[in-house]
Structure formats: structure tokens, C-alpha cells
């Protein structure tokens, strides 16, 4: 579920993680098991620990104690440095981080009772306050190692902001806070290191990470890929449609983009190249299909869980809101692939090369029961805390009873280790990003910035949306999607909500635009990962991914203008909006690719090709954009305008195609 789980630094051959010796590897496995037990104990209130129920802060610090110090062991100070041994300075950082975290656990109740976050310098022992300063620095260093220099610079500067806020120019001016008081707030409060990102990780994300890893190690990827090949591999552009279908299925369960590319792409990309797609296009299709993992319920990326915490709503509500946009996104990919295949006269894979559907079901039928259990627990019973643990338990039992890939000692160790590395990476990033939230909470600056943004935009929702899209896109180039989302959820979301936009639609809008960087150069992590599998140019793959996934640049504006597409607000017109959106997506896809189903290759229109394609794109966008809300036209007027544009264009294209054919 982490979007940065690549073991080699981008643009470098230097490994990001160390090869651990037996002792450190054993500690990694042990502490990973302890973190799972801590989470399981807290979620189910089992009182494993001497009949003691941990306070939330004690539980959060316990997770920090067993996971965050390992960031100094797993990640070297510089990629490629001391890759086969742990130097003394990293052992010292590990020991200090562990010791301070244990102190925070031991003093958690006293801190809560005495209000140390606001008065530690006057009521707490001085050594405790200086321990908070040291922990602040350790969190930032762990963030740098796990998330990179960009995150460190941004979060480091913002974490120091309360100290210098008194000398900042308007609108950033706020009363200054001393170094020790700032450190106390960052470490002792529930608004900074232990803030919303950490709470989401501790309460929800850990369980879903365990579930996603269990899927990976029980052969879910193979099942979903074979199922997709058997179902649609023989249709035109079949291998590309397989990529969309299999990546969508696996991604909806794992929520991880990069691992999705590297899991399904190794099978789908070579198959796409074999059926006629260029290497860059094949990589782009897989990158776009895998990027949808962040959008697709029931298990979305870590960002969705953080969003639920920000909005203080059940995760199931976030997942339901994402369902329609995710469906539109994958439908758009499917239609673009079908149009591209028609334009280039591509054929499907030979049936004899495809797996047998009945055999595929026989080998992986139990995954369906696991998915059903997960959906019922999430969306029907509203037990999002329990859902991943119970689904994982069912998955492991069924795997041991029915699968040929039964786990032995080797698989169990790989499962625990895989979870541990993802836990460490995420806790380091989320604890560091929490410092940003803490700084704005301490200074109370969010309200001032909201007012200033509204003033700059002249209270115009459209201008604020454009500002948000551009800012999300730029920040998404240098941050993980979760960090980008948190940054803008604090700074920009209140402004958009204040002009009357739906809160859930606003937060979903920010998340979508942060996610765009996965397929957009110069960053395009998903496209670059797919390019390495396809042996294609990364930049060319990224440009193709932008073209194929272009619908993602438009959908967020539409559901923000009329939130019925995220199942919010007035739902009376939802059916009409959804149907017209599907029609519009199909038309936009045809216009972008130059092939219209039922008409054929639009190159046969000669000089009228581009006017016809432009009419389909513009008319399609008018179909998708729901009228009403912030739109100046009613739904009927938008649909009427779309028909006026598209029907003559389709009629002309059909007529010209017939003349060429005769």
C-alpha cells in the first residue's frame, strides 16, 4: 500500500535498503510480529498485556518504538553506503530512538494528565523536554532516509515554522513559540507526530497492509492475471485489456501502485508487445491500469485511510465515494485500448495460448470468498478495523487447505519480512509528515491562510479548483501521494470547503490530483517502473501514459462541480449523470484515439478527421460534466449541447467511411 516501495533509488543503481545479517534480520522479524500483535490487541481489545488496555498514545508510541528505530537499520544514511553492515552511528541512532520511545510510553499517562503538549517546560523534567527535541530530530532523519531529501526539506522547514512565525510576512504571521515548547507540542500532543497520519496508520493501515501482503504471497496476482487472460485475452487488444482488468482487480485489493506494476506487468507487458503494441505504449497501459489501485475500492491506498481520519467519517464512506470515479477511470482505459486496437487492426491472443477459465477458477476460487467477506465487513457491517484481519485469517486458512502454494517456513518468513519493510517505510514517512499538521495546529495559521486564499481567488470556486489542481500536481512530483494529500488537506481544503464545495469531494479532488504524478513526467514513478519492464524509454512511456490516462485529468473537476458522482449531495439525478458520463467517456476515448466503435477508423474522414475527433472530445466532455451545481447550464442543457456536437460529427464520419469503403 506504500507508493514508494522501490528497493533501488530512482535514477540510480544504488540499493536503498541494506542486506541484514542474521541478528538484525531476526530483530526485524520479531518487531514486525510484535507490531502486528499490538495492532491486533488494540483493535479487538484483547488485553494481551497483563490485562492492561493501552491508552491510544501509549499504543502509538509502542508502534513507534518497534518500527521507527529500524529505519536507521534498514535504510543506510546514503543509498549504497554500508550496504552489507550496520555502522556504529546507525546502531546508536537505533538505540536512542528506541529508548526515547520507551520513555514516551512510560510517561504517556502522566503527559496526558498534566497537559505536557502545552506546558512541558514548566511541569515536566528538563531531560524529558530535551528528549522531545532529540525525538523530533530522529523523526526527521528517519523521514529523509525513507522518503528522500524533498520530503525532509519541506517537512523540516514547516516543523520549525512555529519558532519563526512571529517574523514571517503576512499572511504567514503568527505568535512565535520557543524551540522547547515547539518540540513538546510535536512529541507530546496528538496533533503532530501522533497526529492524523499516525492514527490512520495505527488504526487502519496496518491491517490492510497485512492483507495486501498476504494476497501477494498466496498467489492472488497469478489468479487475477490468469482470470483476466481467460476472460478477455482473445478480444482485439486483448493483452492490454488483460492488463486493465488484472491490475484493476489486484490493485483494488492491495492499494499499491508500484508493486502492482511489477507484479502484473511482468506478464501483461510482454503479451501486449507480442500482439503489436509498441513497448512504450505497453508500459503506459500497465502504468495507467496500476495507478487506478489508488482509486479502486474496497482497499485503496494509505491516503484513503488518512482521508477518513481527516474527515472523521467511516472508511467505508470514502470507499463508496471512490467507486464511481474509479469505474469511470477503468472504463475510459478499456475504451481507449479498444479504440487503439481497432485503429491499428490489432488482434487478440490465440485461444490455445490462454488459460482455461474453469481451470483458473478451480485453482483460485477461494479468493472470491475472501473478497466477499472483506466487502461485507467494510460496507455492510461497517467493521473496517476488523475487516482486514478477518479477511487475512480466512485467506490463510483457505490457502493452506486448498492451494498448491501452501506456506512453509520460507513463505512465512518472507511474509513477515515483507510486512516489516513496508511498516517501517510508512511509519517513518507518516510520522514526519505529521510534523506539518502539528505546526499549523500549534500556530492556528490554517484559518488565516484559508482567508488569504479566498481573497486571492476572489471567492471563485473555479479559480480555487485550478489553484488546487496545479499545486497538487507540482507537489505530487516531489512527494508521495500521502504526503502531498496531507499538505493540501491542511492548507487548501478548508478554502474549497468554505466556498460551498462538498468536503468529501474536495478531499477526493486533492488526492486524485496528487496521484496524477504517477503517470506524468518528469516523475511518473508508475510509468518509469513499467518502462523498465517493457525496455522502453521512460519519458516516452510517461507521455503515452498521459495520453491513455487522460480522463483522470478531467474527472476530479466533474465530481467537485457536482458531487453526485461521489455519491454526495443531491443524488436524485445520479442515474442520468452516470449514464451520460459513460457515454461521454466512450466519445472522448474515441476522439483521442481516432477510432469510433460502429464507424471505424476516423482517418477515413480525410480532411475532416480532426474536426470530427475534436467534436467527439468536446461533446464527450459535455456529456461527462454534470450540469447544475457550479455549472452554468442545467443537466438537460449540457446533454443537449453534447448531442448537437456529437451526432452530426458521427453522422459525417459514418457517411465518409462508407464512401471510402465503396
Q: Helices in 379-408 by DSSP H: which ranges?
A: 387-402
Q: What is the pLDDT of residue 350?
A: 83
Q: Please give the pLDDT value at position 87.
A: 94
pLDDT for res 14: 58
Residue 523 has what pLDDT? 65
Place of cell 495546529: 441
In this prediction the pTM is 0.79
Strand-pairing partners, residue 562, are none
pLDDT at position 479 is 65
Which residues, listed in sequence order, are joined to residue 595 by a DSSP beta bridge?
601
For 50, left (φ over 0), alpha (ψ -120 to 50), or beta?
left
Could you tell me if 457 and 495 are in contact, meaning their C-beta atoms sit under 8 angstroms apart?
Answer: yes
User: How many residues are recorded in the chain?
Assistant: 662
Q: Classify residue 255 as exposed, middle or buried by CB count within 10 Å of its CB (0-12, 13-18, 19+).
A: buried
Give every residue of the chain whose pLDDT is below 70, as ranges.
1-14, 47-53, 254-255, 446-447, 449-451, 457, 474-480, 522-523, 628-630, 661-662
Task: Return phi, psi of residue 609, to 5°.
Answer: -55, -55
Domain extents in the chain: 22-197, 572-662
Q: Count of CB atoms within 10 A of residue 266's CB?
A: 13
Strand partners, 601: 595
Residue 381: helix, strand or coil by DSSP?
Answer: coil
Note the pLDDT of residue 2. 45
Residue 552 neighbours by CB under 8 Å, 6+ apart: 291, 329, 512, 515, 516, 519
Distances (CA, A) of 288 to 52, 368, 518: 47, 25, 8
**In Å, how far are 104, 288, 410, 477 from 545, measured between CA atoms?**
47, 6, 38, 16
Amino acid at each position: 500500500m506504500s507508493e514508494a516501495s522501490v528497493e533501488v533509488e530512482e535514477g540510480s543503481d544504488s540499493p536503498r535498503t541494506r542486506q541484514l545479517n542474521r541478528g538484525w534480520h531476526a530483530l526485524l522479524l520479531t518487531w514486525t510480529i510484535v507490531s502486528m500483535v499490538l495492532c491486533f490487541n488494540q483493535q479487538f481489545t484483547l488485553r494481551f498485556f497483563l490485562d492492561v488496555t493501552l491508552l491510544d498514545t501509549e499504543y502509538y508510541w509502542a508502534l513507534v518504538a518497534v518500527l521507527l528505530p529500524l529505519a536507521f537499520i534498514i535504510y543506510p544514511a546514503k543509498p549504497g553506503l554500508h550496504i552489507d553492515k550496520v555502522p556504529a552511528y546507525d546502531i546508536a541512532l537505533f538505540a536512542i530512538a528506541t529508548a526515547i520511545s520507551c520513555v514516551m510510553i512510560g510517561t504517556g499517562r502522566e503527559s496526558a494528565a498534566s497537559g505536557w503538549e502545552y506546558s512541558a517546560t514548566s511541569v515536566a523534567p528538563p531531560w524529558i523536554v530535551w528528549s522531545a527535541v532529540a525525538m523530533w530530530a530522529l523523526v526527521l532523519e528517519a523521514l529523509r532516509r525513507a522518503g528522500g531529501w524533498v520530503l525532509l526539506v519541506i517537512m523540516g522547514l514547516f516543523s520549525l515554522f512555529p519558532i519563526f512565525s512571529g517574523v514571517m510576512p503576512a499572511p504567514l504571521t503568527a505568535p512565535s513559540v520557543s524551540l522547547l515548547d515547539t518540540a513538546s507540542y510535536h512529541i507530546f500532543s496528538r496533533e503532530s507526530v501522533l497526529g492524523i497520519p499516525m492514527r490512520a496508520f495505527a488504526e487502519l493501515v496496518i491491517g490492510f497492509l497485512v492483507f495486501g501482503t498476504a494476497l501477494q504471497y498466496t498467489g492472488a496476482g497469478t489468479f487475477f492475471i490468469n482470470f483476466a487472460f481467460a476472460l478477455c485475452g482473445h478480444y482485439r487488444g486483448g493483452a492490454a485489456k488483460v492488463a486493465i482488468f488484472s491490475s484493476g482487480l489486484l490493485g483494488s485489493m492491495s492499494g499499491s501502485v508500484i508493486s502492482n506494476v511489477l507484479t502484473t506487468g511482468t506478464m501483461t507487458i510482454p503479451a501486449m508487445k507480442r500482439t503489436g503494441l509498441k513497448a512504450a505504449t505497453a508500459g503506459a497501459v500497465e502504468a495507467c491500469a496500476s495507478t487506478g489501485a489508488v482509486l479502486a475500492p474496497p482497499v485503496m491506498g494509505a491516503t484513503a485511510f488518512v482521508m477518513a481520519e481527516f474527515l472523521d467519517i467511516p472508511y467505508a464512506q470514502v470507499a463508496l465515494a471512490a467507486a464511481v470515479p474509479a469505474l469511470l477511470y477503468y472504463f475510459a482505459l478499456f475504451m481507449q485500448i479498444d479504440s487503439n486496437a481497432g485503429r491499428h487492426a490489432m488482434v487478440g491472443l490465440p485461444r490455445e495460448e490462454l488459460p482455461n477459465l474453469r481451470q483458473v477458477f478451480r485453482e483460485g476460487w477461494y479468493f472470491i470468498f475472501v473478497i466477499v467477506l472483506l466487502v461485507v465487513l467494510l460496507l455492510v457491517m461497517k467493521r473496517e478495523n476488523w475487516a482486514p484481519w478477518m479477511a487475512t485469517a480466512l485467506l490463510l486458512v483457505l490457502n493452506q487447505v486448498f492451494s498448491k502454494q501452501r506456506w512453509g517456513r520460507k513463505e512465512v518468513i518472507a511474509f513477515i519480512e515483507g510486512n516489516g519493510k513496508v511498516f517501517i517505510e510508512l511509519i517513518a514517512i507518516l510520522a514526519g509528515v505529521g510534523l506539518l499538521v502539528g505546526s499549523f495546529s500549534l500556530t492556528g495559521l490554517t484559518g488565516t491562510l484559508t482567508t488569504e486564499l479566498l481573497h486571492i481567488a476572489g471567492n471563485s470556486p473555479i479559480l480555487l479548483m485550478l489553484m488546487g489542481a496545479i499545486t497538487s500536481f507540482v507537489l505530487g512530483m516531489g512527494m508521495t501521494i500521502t504526503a502531498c494529500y496531507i499538505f493540501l488537506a491542511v492548507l487548501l481544503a478548508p478554502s474549497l470547503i468554505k466556498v460551498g464545495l462538498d468536503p468529501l469531494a474536495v478531499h477526493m479532488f486533492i488526492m486524485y490530483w496528487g496521484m496524477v504524478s504517477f503517470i506524468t513526467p518528469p516523475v511518473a514513478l508508475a510509468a518509469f517502473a513499467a518502462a523498465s519492464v517493457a525496455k522502453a524509454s521512460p519519458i516516452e512511456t510517461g507521455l503515452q501514459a498521459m495520453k491513455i490516462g487522460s480522463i483522470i485529468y478531467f474527472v476530479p473537476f466533474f465530481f467537485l462541480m457536482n458531487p453526485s458522482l461521489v455519491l454526495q449531495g443531491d443524488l436524485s439525478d445520479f442515474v442520468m449523470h452516470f449514464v451520460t458520463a459513460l457515454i461521454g467517456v466512450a466519445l472522448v476515448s474515441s476522439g483521442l484515439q481516432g477510432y469510433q466503435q460502429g464507424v471505424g477508423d476516423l482517418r477515413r474522414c480525410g480532411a475532416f478527421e480532426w474536426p470530427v475527433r475534436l467534436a467527439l472530445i468536446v461533446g464527450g466532455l459535455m456529456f461527462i460534466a454534470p450540469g447544475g451545481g457550479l455549472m452554468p447550464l442545467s443537466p438537460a442543457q449540457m446533454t443537449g449541447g453534447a448531442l448537437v456536437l456529437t451526432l452530426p460529427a458521427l453522422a459525417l464520419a459514418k457517411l465518409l467511411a462508407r464512401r471510402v469503403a465503396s
